Amino acid sequence: MSDMTAVVTGGSSGIGEATAALLAARGYEVTIIGRNESRIARVSAIDDRIDGVVADLSDPAAARQTISEIGDRTGSISVLVNAHGILGTPTPLERISDQQWDEMLSTNLRGPITTTTAAVPYLRAAGGSVVNVSSINAIQAEPWMAPYGVAKAALVGFTKYAAADLAPYGIRVNAVLPGWVRTPMAIPYFEEAGVLDAPVTTNFQQRAAEPRELAEVIAFLASPAASYVTGECVVADGGHWINMRELAPVADSDDGEH
């Protein structure tokens, strides 16, 4: 039994890939889960400590079986990172179909719920921790993105309730809420908005994050360095959420009053 075993869902691209690579570099034996076999093979080749499993985590039965097989093989799971998710097609609320709601909620909400609950026996054995990748959309509404935002907001709620219920087992549960990140899933949206290679004026950093920057936050929350942190939702968005730059600034007066 290893006390440094990690499972990263959505580990075949974007934030999940960066997190898997970072955890492996820090000595974890990492199993990534994804739906694309070729992408899994590519990420697994990054480090000998990374292994991969193909599974559709929107299917609860498949999610439970996959986690159980990984847990039985490794003996324990010390870190579970739920990084898988879909963005969906931006659609006005009144035009969103039942199928769109179902796809978003089954992948972005029910998937992490199922993997977390299935991993509890193995997390208990390791005194492990869970990190859910939510989104700034969980706390800040964006037009035409209701299914995505609702699912990510509910994931924040699940994070808090899971932290409360699993605390007696020594399991910590936290979430990270990224803003704009240059991932394969998000880049087409950046291109459409015309900000792929231009300054991002909606945050203080004036740019989108690289996946590795989010991986560093996730790795901290998962590690013993964050041993007193649970039930928290860490916003990592370059200051997007609190940015009021789009409001006209009040000019300074000569006497220093505003």
- Residue 64: what pLDDT? 98
Q: What is the pLDDT of residue 249?
A: 46
pLDDT for residue 244: 67
pLDDT score at 252: 46
Distance (Å, whole) CA 49 – CA 28:
7
pLDDT of residue 51: 97
Q: Tens place of pLDDT for every residue, the chain, 258 residues? A: 358 999 999 999 999 999 999 999 999 999 999 999 999 999 999 999 999 999 999 999 999 999 999 999 999 999 999 999 999 999 999 999 999 999 999 999 999 999 999 999 999 999 999 999 999 999 999 999 999 999 999 999 999 999 999 999 999 999 999 998 999 888 887 787 766 777 888 889 888 999 999 999 999 999 999 999 999 999 999 998 888 665 444 444 444 444
- What sign for the dihedral angle of Cα 76, 43, 221, 226? positive
Evaluate whether 33 touches 7 at the Cβ level (below 8 Å). yes
Q: Which among 28, 148, 169, 189 is annotated as catalytic? A: 148
- Locate the domains of the chain by residue range: 5-236
Domain at 5-236, CATH homologous superfamily: NAD(P)-binding Rossmann-like Domain (3.40.50.720)
In the chain, alpha helices (H): 14-25, 37-44, 60-74, 98-105, 111-126, 146-166, 187-193, 211-222
Question: Cβ contacts of residue 56 below 8 Å, gap of 6+?
Answer: 35, 62
If we measure between CA atoms, which residue out of 52, 46, 48 comes closest to residue 10?
Answer: 52
**pLDDT at position 189, please?**
77
Instruction: Check if 148 is active-site.
Output: yes
Copy the structure tokens of residue 34: 């994804």
pLDDT of residue 200: 81
Contact 179, 240 (CB under 8 A): yes
